[in-house]
Every structure is written in C-alpha cells, then in structure tokens.
Amino acid sequence: AQTVTQSQPEMSVQEAETVTLSCTYDTSESDYYLFWYKQPPSRQMILVIRQEAYKQQNATENRFSVNFQKAAKSFSLKISDSQLGDAAMYFCAYRSGWDRKTSYDKVIFGPGTSLSVIP
Amino acid sequence: NAGVTQTPKFRILKIGQSMTLQCTQDMNHNYMYWYRQDPGMGLKLIYYSVGAGITDKGEVPNGYNVSRSTTEDFPLRLELAAPSQTSVYFCASSYGSGTGDMFYNEQFFGPGTRLTVL
C-alpha cells in the first residue's frame, strides 16, 4: 500500500527567506501524480503545485517549486521569498494512476507540516 | 461556478443523533470524495464515488453512509453520532485520471463542516 510521509510537523521561516518542506512516499507504481496543498486557518484546501511522475522537469508555480526525485521517492516543496500569507498547513498528496479494476485512482495525504512565517 | 459547496458549516450533535452533511459540485466531475480531518492530522478518506450510483468505502467508513443519485450531489449520512466522529469533514470532487490528462486530476475541496458530538 502507498504511504506518504512528512517528517516535519512544524517549520518556521523568516519573511522573505526560503524554506523547504519535505515529503517522501512509498509506492510500487510507475504512473502517479504528486500534489502540494495549502490549508490556511480558513480551512480551505488550496492546490499549490502538481507534478506528473513521468516528467523529469520539476514543476514551478511563481514562488513555489518542487524537487522531485523519483528514484528516491522524494517530493519536497520550496517556497521562495516567503510571505506572511504563506503561513498554513501544507499537505503532500499522492494520486495513483487509474486502476482498471476499481475504476478508481487512490489519493493519499500526508500528515501535514505547519508553516509559520516570522515577520 | 460555485465549485464545491457544503452545508452546514458548523453543527453540534448529541450522542445518538443522526444527520446528513450535504455536498454539491457544479463542475460535472465524475469523482467525489468525503474526508475527515481530526485536529492536527491529515485527511482520511471516508467514502468515495466514481459516478452516479457507484460508491465505495475508503479508509474510515464505519459509522457513515453515502449515496450518489446524481452527478452533482454526494451526501454523507451519520447514524447514531458518537464523540469519535467529532471532526472537520471535507467534500471534494475531481475528474478521474482515466481521462488521460493530468490537468483534470486536481481535487477541488469544499469549505468543510465542523462537527462536534457531545
């Protein structure tokens, strides 16, 4: 069974600095997708960035980028020029490829990392 | 588009009471999900549906039931509420990755329902 691990329950960063959140996963599949979601105090789940496993190029969305290491099963999130609005819980998520038997592609979330931004 | 809407936003139940959490999406997504999030924890899948009339259990289905009579609606039923069901409940929807396009894999989440069972 697939698992997603986020080894840092809490992180903090100075405003305008860079922080990296780690995520590792375990799978025997070759076709899958990875996501980072942000959950601010409002509780809304917001997609930050996504990565297809078959792509070697790391995904980038403005100040957010990932370091995807498929062989190591690692998917870290780097936030550059941190802003106060980046303070939130960050969840790493794994989505399997489509399963013909179940017609369902499983989504598994990690336990989350709470990020604080210090002014 | 309203996206994914959930009602109610907050609810307090007494032990043994029942209630239905409503979830509606207007994006014509075939997949819908119910998650619970306990304090300081990640999301755990309760039930999911890959289309109208098709539902299946997730990781933590005990004490819950679902139905999917239409593409848009996916209500979650709690029978005989227990304190262990105190949590925040999120509904989500997406296309299935069987569409072949990664863009459609993103899950869209509702704002959540905070449920307390006393």
In this structure, the dihedral spanned by the alpha carbons of residues B88, A52, A4 and A17, taken in order and rounded to 10 degrees, is -80
Please tell me the predicted confidence (pLDDT) of residue A19.
Answer: 98
Residue B73 structure tokens:
């609606």
Pairwise CA distance, residues A24 & B88, whole Å: 25
CB contact under 8 A, A50 and B102: yes
A32: pLDDT confidence band, cut at 50, 70 and 90? confident
Nearest chain B alpha carbon to A9: B40
User: Which chain B residues are within 8 Å of A21, Cβ to Cβ?
Assistant: none
Number of H helices, E strands in chain A: 0, 12
Quote the minimal CA–CA distance from A56 to chain B in Å. 15
Residue B92 structure tokens:
């989500």
Q: Which of residues 24-83 of B touch A (CB under 8 A)?
A: 31, 33, 35, 40-45, 48, 50, 54, 56
Quote the minimal CA–CA distance from B115 to chain A in Å. 14
Please tell me the predicted confidence (pLDDT) of residue A15.
Answer: 97
> What pLDDT digit, counting tens, does each position of B17-73 carry?
999 999 999 999 888 999 999 987 889 999 999 889 999 998 899 999 999 999 999
A90: pLDDT confidence band, cut at 50, 70 and 90? very high
**pLDDT (average), residues A82-90:** 96
> What pLDDT digit, counting tens, does each position of A99-115 carry?
655 556 678 899 999 99
Pairwise CA distance, residues B29 & B66, whole Å: 17
